[in-house]
Structure 1
Amino acid sequence: MKIRTGRCLCGAVAYRVEGEPLRVGLCHCADCRKSSGSAFVFFAVWPRPAFSHSGEIATFAGRSFCPACGGRLFCLRDDEAEIRVGSLDNAPTDLAPDYEVWIKRRETWLHPLPGAGQYAEDAD
C-alpha cells in the first residue's frame, strides 16, 4: 500500500495518507484563492480512515492549518480528508487532476486540463 506523508512549512504538523486518492482536482473558487494566495488550489481526497496527523492544528471554515507558520494543509470531513497536494513531502508527480471545479472563476490565461471533468461550481 502506498503511503504519502506531508507537513507544514515549519514541520510542527505532519500527516500521512494511505493508498490512492479517491479523486484529484483543482479548485478555482474565491475561498481557495484567498486562503492559498494563488490562482487555484491543487488537492486530492482520501477516505477519512486513510488519514492521520500529529501536531496542533487550527481550523477556520473547515480548512486546517499550522497555527505557528500558517501552512495550509487539509480539510477534514466525517468521511473524507482533502489534502493540499503542495504540502506533501515528495513531489506528487504520480497525481494528476481528473477534474476542475469553479471553472467560472478560472483565470482566462489558464486552459482547461485535457481529459479533466469541468464544473462551473462544485462537482456533484
Structure 2
Amino acid sequence: MPPTLTGDPKSHPNSSFIDGLTGTCLCGSITVTIKDQELFTKKRGHLCHCSNCRKSSGSFVAANLAIDSDVVEVKDRDGTLKTYDDYETGSGKKVERVFCARDGNPIMSVPEIYPGKVVLKMGIFPRIPAPEMETFSDHRHAWQGEHDGLIQYATVRGGKKFGEKE
C-alpha cells in the first residue's frame, strides 16, 4: 500500500482558519500561531528573491508574510528555537533569522528596520494566503516564470517597480 501523502493545502479550506492559523517546524518542537481573522480575506505576504531570503528558505524564492508581532504567538516546547543575527543586509540593519536548531526549519525573521513586525516563513503553515507582491524581482532566475497580478518591486518593498525605467 502506498504511503499516505500529507500537506496538500487544498485539503484545508480557508474557513478552518478563522480563529487562527497554526504551523510547526518539521520536528514539532516550535509552534507558530497567527491570530488574524482577515488573513485570507485579501492578498497578503510576498515572495522574496533576495539572496538572504533564498538562503534562509533553501529555495529559489521565499514565501514570507510581514505581520505585526502582537498577533503572532511562538511556542518553543523543547527549547530548540535559535537565532542567527544577519548583518549582511541591504540596509545594513540586523535581521534576526529564527530557526529550529533540531531540524533546521526556518521559522521567521525579525528585521530591525521594521520594529513591531516579524516576517514569517510561510512554508511551515498548512495553507498560505495569496501573495500581494514580489520583492527583489530583478534577482529572479531567468527560467522562472512571472506571477500575474502581483505588485513587483525591482528590489525593496515600496521602491522602484520591476521593469520601470529610471
TM-score, length-normalised on structure 2? 0.67
- Please tell me the residue identity of whatever aligns with 2:132: D
The corresponding residue for 2:106 is 72
Superposed CA RMSD in Å reads: 1.7
Distance in 2, matches of 1:33 and 1:81, equals: 17
Distance in 2, matches of 1:42 and 1:87, equals: 10
Alignment gaps of 5+ in structure 2: 1-17, 87-95, 159-166
The corresponding residue for 1:8 is 25
Deviates more, 1:107-116 or 1:25-34: 107-116
Distance in 2, matches of 1:122 and 1:47, equals: 19
Distance in 2, matches of 1:112 and 1:49, equals: 33
1:24 aligns with 2:45: yes
Q: Which of 1 and 2 has greater Rg? A: 2
Distance in 2, matches of 1:45 and 1:29, equals: 15
SS in structure 2 at match of 1:39? coil
SS in structure 2 at match of 1:32? helix
1:45 aligns with 2:66: yes
The corresponding residue for 1:104 is 138
1:91 aligns with 2:127: yes
Alignment gaps of 5+ in structure 1: none
Number of equivalent positions: 121
1:59 aligns with 2:83: yes
Higher strand share: 1
Distance in 1, matches of 2:108 and 2:20, equals: 16
